[in-house]
């Protein structure tokens, strides 16, 4: 396929975007810039406003206030709203949104109508798009004759066939099983980068976000918490919410007993744990310690360990994941190449670089532990 | 920047210049003029005669006094009793038929679905006329030498009226109960049995689970029965057994017309319908049974014995004969008898009545006129209904959605005769004439009234299908380059093409044979079919009248057949596939 120059891709700029549904604020004074040709993933839980945002970019929703521009072209600005069909973009929907009365070929071809191509060229491009998603033989099939994965591939072909300047993805993989999700994720990443369009992708799945994105924006209650490269989001989350939503194995309350710039030592009951912190903490501060899955291991280190008992063990192919209970609560996703039986006493090593301390309103005395199971998938 | 230029252009355009003629604007204008204004203005006169120059008081309940006394009161009581009996009877028959058709292997069940849809389409006055032609004095059966006076005496009284109302109610009750029974898997019955319950205990549980649909069925049949004008205008009129809708009709034909009393009677009828629905809701309070789930297992069929098959088939065939066979035989035999209705002593069987319909403008024109009106009405009503159902199924609970919902529900409960009187009242008002709107007595007004009358049920029939369309499919069309109208034509219309066609055909057939609105609003010199039939019968041309009747039904069937043929032949394959099984 001919590569599209990335300079024709849109630079998407959102300024002060707000949108409410009755008393519910879906977006509040939202700012975001997506550079041309980049792949941005907006990550957030249900109700964080990510769907509203992507639908507003598409023009399906009208903003209450704020502006959106694609390069020099303003597509929404306080009262002005450009219709979706005039924005020159394409979108892949969560429920595929294939038209059941059209074949796969016709579904893909529909997105080319605005290009006013002659039939030969249009047919060539449709076949090419179907081939790109591995469905060259499925053109005459109706959506009901295709599997879920094939349907989403048709939706993907429909999105790329017109070589749009902006590609939007509204949780396109959430209705698929794990294996198919992984395969389609790779196809989305490859195809999007090949056509060179700016891409904006929303999901609530952090592993999907990390795998796809050039930059990740984390949303909460209609506000952007942090936007940065995936590595930065993981290593230096701006706040507790970003850290928690991008994957933790457990969290405990403790008290800072020693602080040195971004490194602190936290007292957890009788144990001491070395952690990092993105904020300034001082001795005596109450903190919540969030432990990344990658920070934990069953090992023979002698420092920065927590004594625990194995509650459960699950075989994961490349090794074993343990759920352990320590004095302050439960830690999940503790990886080891060997299985340790349930009920065994173990020491859990916590890597200080992936163990993050954030200021907490709660005191250690209020609750001994607020450990929770991992959000990681 | 684009924004600036856009904003400046917008600010220079005067307010009126910015009003755009959108489908929604047309929709709201039409809804206001054909539905809201006629209903509200007419019904308000019941409380406030002075509001529309119909009396001296701004507020009074005096108009309701005659409704509950004298001839009006008696007619209302008759309607109430007939409605209750018809509802009970139709519910029992529909329940038995639903069980026989869905849960047994009785051979005659294959006849039932066709019967149901034929009954659904046949107006009550045509069923009543079929019976009349057979049993009237010097009717078909008497000419054939049968002694039918005792049956005639029953027919021209509460028993006959109730019978026809019940027959007309059966399809409504059946559809409601059968739908509920289809969702009632056998696991409930099995759960009773494995926990020690007897067959009777299991039956009681099943009956309790079906209770919501039984109440719904009764409420619908009751509402249909007390609103019916077809039987009122035929059996009730001939048998001098007054019912509320006929009393209303007589009231509107008296001089001077007492609109406040008519409005009060209409409101009382409307209140009775609403009360029936409320009673149904109250009876079911806290008993909303959710029996349908992804795990529901279809119930097994009861294998009937030979005797069981014979007896149930006899029951079904007997029912089929009473509900459809007799009226059809009555109409066809009467249309083939030359001289029926005259004092001749010799009758011949031939097609002369049909021949007269084709050659006499008096007999032929009503069918042509009704066909034209039905084409216009069906197209207009389906167009508006598509918009209304879109509004009703939108994800947002907007004010416009609640407004459309309320008015369409209220209009469903409003008897056709009340609708027609509302039109007579509103479009004869002095201020309507003063503003230059002289549309009373025109085909234009008749088409509007037909449309308004058909719109509530047509909208409701499309709501289910429209609600199944995922909004993302329209969104997908928009973001991939289509404007709103093109997206609707490309995506929504094909998806609901078959339901749209069915709604159009139902509206067409319903309007072709419609009685109350036609009776009260037809333009002088242009009678529609129902009025044409009535005028022929009033002139004792029973053969000609029934020939128009038979030809009208045949014509409706031809249109339905041709429409389906064209759809199946020429619609794109994707359009036809939707709604079919794989």
A167 with A296, same domain?
no
Mean pLDDT of B320-337: 89
At the top level of CATH, the class of B66-350 is mainly alpha
Name the nearest CA neighbour of B550 among B329, B397, B378, B394. Answer: B329
Does A93 map to a domain?
yes
**Same domain, yes or no: A146 and A256:** no
Predicted confidence (pLDDT) per residue in B538-566, tens digit? 888 888 888 998 999 899 989 989 998 99
Instruction: Please report the residues numbered 39 through 78 in chain A whose beta carbons come closer than 8 angstroms to any beta carbon of chain B.
Output: 55, 58-60, 67, 72-74, 77
A299 with A346, same domain? yes
Among candidate residues A286, A262, A285, A325, the one with its CA nearest the CA of residue A274: A262
Residue of A69, A161, A73, A49 lying closest to A109 (CA atoms): A161
| β-strands A320-326, A305-315 pairing | antiparallel
- A75 token code pair: 């597509």
Question: Chain B contact for A84, CB < 8 A?
Answer: yes
List pLDDT tens digits, range B503-525: 999 899 999 999 889 988 999 98
Number of residues in chain B: 582
Give me the pLDDT at residue B9, please. 39
Residue A118 and residue A175 in one domain: yes
pLDDT of residue A289: 92
Q: Express each pLDDT in B106-128 by its tens digit.
A: 898 888 878 888 888 888 888 99
Assess contact for A302 and A314: CB atoms under 8 A: no
Q: Is B76 buried (19+), middle (13-18) or exposed (0-12) by CB count in 10 A?
A: buried
d(CA A225, CA A241): 8
B567 CB near a chain A CB, below 8 Å?
no
Query: Tens digits of per-residue pLDDT, A139-151?
Result: 999 888 898 889 9
Mean pLDDT over B207-218 rounds to 84
Reported as a single tens digit per residue, the pLDDT across A325-339 is 988 789 999 988 889
Look at A25-39, B47-61, B315-329 and tell me which has the smallest mean pLDDT. Answer: B47-61
The whole-number pLDDT of residue B2 equals 37
Per-residue pLDDT tens digits for B215-243 = 888 988 998 898 888 888 888 888 888 89
**Shortest CA distance from B573: residue in chain A:** A101
- The verdict on A156 and A261 lying in the same domain is no
Tell me, yes or no, if A202 comes closer than 8 A to chain B by beta carbon.
Answer: no
Mean pLDDT check: name the lowest of B163-167, B402-406, B532-536, B546-550.
B402-406
* Token pair belonging to A83: 């219709």
- Residue labelled with tokens 């710039």: A261
Report the range of poorest mean pLDDT among A81-90, B19-28, B479-488, B536-545: B19-28
Do B75 and B246 contact (CB within 8 A), yes or no?
Answer: yes
Note the pLDDT of residue A370.
Answer: 39
Mean pLDDT to the nearest integer, B271-277 = 82
The answer to whether residue A366 sits within a structural domain is: no
Q: Per-residue pLDDT tens for A223-233? A: 999 999 999 99
Instruction: Please state the ipTM of this predicted complex.
Output: 0.76
> Is A45 inside a domain boundary?
yes
Query: B351-582 has which CATH code?
Result: 1.10.3720.10
In a domain, residue A80? The reply is: yes
Query: Sign (positive/negative) of CA torsion B526, B529, B534, B540?
Result: positive
Is residue A185 included in any domain, yes or no?
yes
Residue B343: predicted pLDDT: 63
Domain residue ranges of chain B, discontinuous segments joined by +: 66-350, 351-582
Does pLDDT of A40 surpass 80? yes
- Whether the domain at B66-350 and the domain at B351-582 fall into the same CATH topology: yes
CB-based contact B97:B105 (threshold 8 Å): no
At residue B405, does pLDDT exceed 60? yes
- Position A1 in a domain: no
> What is the dihedral sign for C-alpha A182, A184, A187, A188?
negative
Do A327 and A196 reside in the same domain of the chain? Answer: no
Q: Minimal Cα–Cα distance from B125 to chain A, Å?
A: 41
Domain extent at residue A81: 6-240
Mean pLDDT value of segment B24-28: 79
Q: Which residues of A208-240 are buried (b: 16+ CB within 10 A; e: fewer)?
A: bbbebbebbbbbbbbbbbbbbebeebbeebbeb
Whether residues A224 and A352 share a domain: the answer is no
* B551 contacts A74 by C-beta, under 8 angstroms: no
Contacts of A289 (CB under 8 A, 6+ apart): A251, A252, A253, A254, A266, A268, A273, A275, A355, A356, A357
Strand A198-203 relative to strand A166-170: parallel, antiparallel, unpaired? parallel
Which residue in chain A is spatially nearest to B494 when comparing CA positions? Answer: A101
Number of separate domains in chain A: 2
Q: In the 8-state DSSP scheme, what is residue A10?
A: P
> Residues A23, A101: one domain?
yes
Q: Please check the confidence at residue A164 and state whether its pLDDT lies above 80.
A: yes
| Residue A220 within a domain | yes
Whether B358 shows a pLDDT value over 70: the answer reads: yes
> Kind and range of the H or E element at B390?
helix B361-393
Answer whether A74 sits within 8 Å of B578, measured CB to CB: no
β-bridge pairing A286-291 and A271-276: unpaired
Residue B1 or residue B71, greater confidence: B71
Encode pLDDT of A289-308 as tens digits: 999 988 898 876 678 888 89
In terms of Cα–Cα distance, which of A35, A20, A21 is closest to A227?
A35
**Are residue A15 and residue A159 in the same domain, yes or no?**
yes
Closest chain A residue to the Cα of B396, Cα to Cα: A21
Closest residue of chain A to B6, computed from CA coordinates: A80
DSSP state for residue B232 in the 8-state scheme:
I
Q: How confident is the model at residue B297 (pLDDT cuts 50, 70, 90)?
A: low
Question: How far B17 CA sits from the closest chain A CA (Å)?
Answer: 18
Residues from chain B contacting residue A94 (CB–CB below 8 Å) = 472
Instruction: Report chain B's mean pLDDT, rounded to a whole number.
Output: 83
Same-domain status, A258 and A353:
yes
pLDDT recorded at residue A91: 92
Mean pLDDT score, B466-476 = 84
Q: Are residues A219 and A257 in the same domain?
A: no
Residue A376 domain-assigned? Answer: no
Q: What is the CATH number of the domain that holds A312?
A: 2.40.50.140
Q: Is the pLDDT of residue B1 over 60?
A: no
Chain A residues in contact with B579 (beta carbon < 8 A): none
Q: Hey, what long-range contacts does B193-200 have (CB within 8 A, 24 or more apart)?
A: none
Rounded Cα gap, residues B320 and B245, in angstroms = 28
CATH number at residue A62: 3.40.50.300
What is the mean predicted confidence (pLDDT) over B387-407? 75
Assess B490–A contact: CB distance below 8 Å, yes or no: yes
Contact B76, B67 (CB under 8 A): yes
Please indicate, yes or no, whether residues A185 and A254 belong to a single structural domain of this protein.
no
Q: Answer whether B3 sits within 8 Å of A100, measured CB to CB.
A: no
For residue range B486-503, what is the model confidence (pLDDT) as tens digits? 998 898 888 888 889 989
What is the mean predicted confidence (pLDDT) over A196-202?
A: 93
């Amino acid at each position: 396929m001919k590569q599209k120059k990335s300079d024709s891709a849109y630079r998407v700029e959102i300024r002060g975007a707000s949108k409410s549904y009755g008393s519910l604020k879906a977006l509040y004074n939202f700012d975001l810039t997506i550079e041309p040709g980049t792949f941005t993933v907006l990550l957030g839980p249900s109700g964080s406003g990510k769907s509203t945002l992507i639908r507003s970019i598409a023009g399906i929703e009208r903003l209450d206030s704020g502006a959106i521009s694609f390069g020099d072209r303003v597509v929404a600005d306080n009262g002005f709203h450009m219709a979706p069909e005039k924005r020159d973009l394409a979108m892949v929907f969560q429920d595929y949104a294939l038209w059941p009365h059209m074949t796969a070929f016709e579904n893909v071809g529909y997105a080319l109508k605005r290009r006013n191509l002659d039939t030969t060229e249009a047919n060539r491009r449709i076949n090419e798009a179907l081939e790109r998603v591995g469905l060259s033989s499925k053109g005459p099939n109706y959506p009901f004759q295709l599997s879920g994965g094939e349907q989403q591939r048709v939706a993907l072909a429909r999105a790329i066939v017109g070589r749009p300047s902006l590609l939007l993805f509204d949780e396109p993989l959430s209705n698929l099983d794990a294996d198919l999700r992984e395969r389609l994720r790779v196809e989305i990443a490859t195809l999007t980068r090949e056509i060179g369009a700016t891409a904006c992708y929303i999901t609530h799945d952090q592993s999907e976000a990390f795998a796809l994105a050039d930059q990740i924006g984390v949303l909460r209650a209609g506000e952007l918490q942090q936007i940065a490269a995936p590595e930065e989001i993981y290593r230096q989350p701006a706040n507790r919410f970003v850290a928690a939503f991008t994957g933790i194995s457990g969290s405990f309350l403790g008290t800072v007993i020693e602080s040195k710039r971004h490194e602190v030592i936290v007292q957890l009951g009788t144990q001491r744990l070395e952690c990092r912190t993105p904020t300034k903490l001082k001795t005596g501060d109450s903190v919540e310690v969030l432990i990344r899955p990658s920070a934990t291991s069953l090992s023979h280190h002698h420092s920065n360990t927590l004594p625990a008992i194995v509650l459960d063990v699950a075989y994961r192919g490349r090794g074993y994941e343990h759920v352990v209970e320590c004095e302050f609560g439960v830690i999940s996703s503790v990886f080891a190449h060997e299985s340790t039986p349930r009920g065994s006493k173990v020491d859990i090593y916590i890597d200080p670089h992936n163990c993050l301390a954030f200021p907490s309103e709660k005191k250690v005395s209020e609750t001994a532990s607020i450990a929770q199971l991992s959000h990681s998938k | 920047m684009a924004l600036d230029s856009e904003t400046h252009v917008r600010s220079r355009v005067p307010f009126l210049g910015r009003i755009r003629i959108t489908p929604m604007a047309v929709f709201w204008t039409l809804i206001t003029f054909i539905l809201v204004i006629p209903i509200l203005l007419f019904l308000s006169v019941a409380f406030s005669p002075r509001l529309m120059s119909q009396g001296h008081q701004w507020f009074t309940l005096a108009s309701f006094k005659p409704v509950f006394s004298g001839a009006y009161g008696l007619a209302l009581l008759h309607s109430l009793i007939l409605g209750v009996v018809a509802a009970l009877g139709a519910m029992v028959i529909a329940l038995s038929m639903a069980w026989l058709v869905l849960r047994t292997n009785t051979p005659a069940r294959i006849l039932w679905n066709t019967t149901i849809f034929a009954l659904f389409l046949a107006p009550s006055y045509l069923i009543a006329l079929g019976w009349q032609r057979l049993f009237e004095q010097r009717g078909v059966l008497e000419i054939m030498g049968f002694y039918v006076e005792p049956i005639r005496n029953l027919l021209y009284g509460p028993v006959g009226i109730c019978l026809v109302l019940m027959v007309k109610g059966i399809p409504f009750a059946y559809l409601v109960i059968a739908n509920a029974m289809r969702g009632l898997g056998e696991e409930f019955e099995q759960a009773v049995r494995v926990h020690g319950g007897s067959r009777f205990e299991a039956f009681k549980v099943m009956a309790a689970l079906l209770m919501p649909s039984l109440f719904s069925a009764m409420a619908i049949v009751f509402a249909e029965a007390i609103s019916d004008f077809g039987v009122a205008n035929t059996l009730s009129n001939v048998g001098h057994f007054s019912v509320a809708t006929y009393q209303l009709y007589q009231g509107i034909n008296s001089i001077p017309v007492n609109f406040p009393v008519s409005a009060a009677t209409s409101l009382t009828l409307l209140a009775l319908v609403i009360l029936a629905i409320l009673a149904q809701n109250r009876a079911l309070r806290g008993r909303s049974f959710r029996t349908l789930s992804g795990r529901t297992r279809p119930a097994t069929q009861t294998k009937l014995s030979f005797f069981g098959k014979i007896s149930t088939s006899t029951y079904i065939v007997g029912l089929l004969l009473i509900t459809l066979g007799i009226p059809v035989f009555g109409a066809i035999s009467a249309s083939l008898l030359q001289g029926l209705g005259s004092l001749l002593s010799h009758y011949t069987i031939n097609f002369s009545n049909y021949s007269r319909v084709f050659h006499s403008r008096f007999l032929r024109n009503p069918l042509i006129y009704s066909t034209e009106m039905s084409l216009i009405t069906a197209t207009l009503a389906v167009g508006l209904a598509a918009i209304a159902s879109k509004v009703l199924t939108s994800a947002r609970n907007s004010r416009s959605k609640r407004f459309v919902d309320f008015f369409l529900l209220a209009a469903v409960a409003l008897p056709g005769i009340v609708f027609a009187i509302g039109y007579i009242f509103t479009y004869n008002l002095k201020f309507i004439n003063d503003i230059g709107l002289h549309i009373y007595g025109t085909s234009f007004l008749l088409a509007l009234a037909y449309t308004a009358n058909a719109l509530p049920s047509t909208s409701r029939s499309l709501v289910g299908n429209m609600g199944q369309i995922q909004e993302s499919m329209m969104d997908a069309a928009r973001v991939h380059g289509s404007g709103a109208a093109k997206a609707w034509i490309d995506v929504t219309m094909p998806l609901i093409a078959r339901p749209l066609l069915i709604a159009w055909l139902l509206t067409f057939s319903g309007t072709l044979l419609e009685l109350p609105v036609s009776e009260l609003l037809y333009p002088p010199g242009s009678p529609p079919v129902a009025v044409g039939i009535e005028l022929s019968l009033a002139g004792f041309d029973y053969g000609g009248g029934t020939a128009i009747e038979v030809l009208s039904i045949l014509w409706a069937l031809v249109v339905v057949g041709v429409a389906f043929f064209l759809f199946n032949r020429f619609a794109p394959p994707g359009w036809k596939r939707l709604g079919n099984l794989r």
